Amino acid sequence: MIPVDCIVPAAGRSERLGRWKPLLPFRGSTIVGTVVAAALETCSRVILVAGYRGGELAARFATEPRVVVVENLGWELGMFSSIRQGAVRVETTAFFVSLADMPFVGSSVYRALLDAPRADFVFPVHDGMRGHPVLAGARVREAILAADPATGSMKEIARQLSVVEVPWYDDSVLRDIDTPADLAGA
């Protein structure tokens, strides 16, 4: 297995759901626990970026040596600030970004992206839409670290670098839990 880190931004307040979602029960685990477990099937480490209620995430993963919980003090700036905070801790040439509210993504997606032709970004694509996780290379990390945490954008970085799209057979790479209806349908 190629050593590869995975950044999981989990710093937000979950405002659209109306309650904090990372530690909500999901299929015998929690939402974020399911995301982390899928990533760890392929990745050497998960860099879990916490912010709002970060102490609870740190406590939940305190006994997992392959999960590094990083605090984003500027989490209210948005998700890019969390990705940037995680990128500081990346130790591998390539790394994934996987969202903490996408527990439907299985480990097979990670493996498929690693097997794809190399590019700065490798995206899974379903129905013409790019999803997650995203595999990123060293030039992406450099661009993230050079960007302003308040105004940086992964979409803007992707517009400037090479991209490979990997067709994916189901909507797991697009499906997140943002609303009460999403949670009820899980």
* Residue 179 tokens, joined: 């609303």
Q: The whole model's pTM is what?
A: 0.96
Please give the pLDDT value at position 65: 97
Burial of 148 (0-12, 13-18, 19+ CB in 10 A): exposed
Q: What is the pLDDT of residue 1?
A: 60
Length of the chain in residues, anyone? 186
Domains with residue ranges and CATH for the chain? 5-184 (3.90.550.10)
- List of the chain residues with pLDDT < 50: none
